Amino acid sequence: RYVEEGYLPLDNNTAERAIRPFVIGRKNWLFSDTPKGAAASAQLYSLVETAKANGQEPYTWLRHAL
């Protein structure tokens, strides 16, 4: 695909950087009291990282979105 679509990146560094907070957060999620609590934490992390990926300040974006 890269040969056909020259604008595509040769590596997956962007994807790896995007999931890094989840990898680091695994240690903290071990102490979630319930599966629902762990799911809520994961959803919040997802929203924060989505805001960052789109160049938004997460706290401001969350206040607006929620």
CA distances from 30 to 26, 48, 49 (A): 6, 20, 20
> Domain limits at 53?
13-65
3-state secondary structure of 3: coil
Residue type, position 33, single letter: D
For residue 44, being part of any structural domain is answered with yes
- The number of distinct structural domains making up the chain is 1
Check whether 56 has a pLDDT greater than 80.
yes
For residue 24, being part of any structural domain is answered with yes
For residue 19, being part of any structural domain is answered with yes
Report the Cα 23 to chain-centroid distance in Å. 10
For residue 61, being part of any structural domain is answered with yes
For residue 43, being part of any structural domain is answered with yes
8-44 confidence digits (pLDDT tens) = 777 788 888 877 877 777 776 666 778 888 788 888 8
pLDDT for 63: 92
pLDDT for 60: 94
Sole residue written with tokens 């997956």? 12
pTM: 0.57
Identify which of 40, 39, 42, 62 has the alpha carbon closest to the alpha carbon of residue 52: 62
Distance CA 11, CA 49 (A): 20
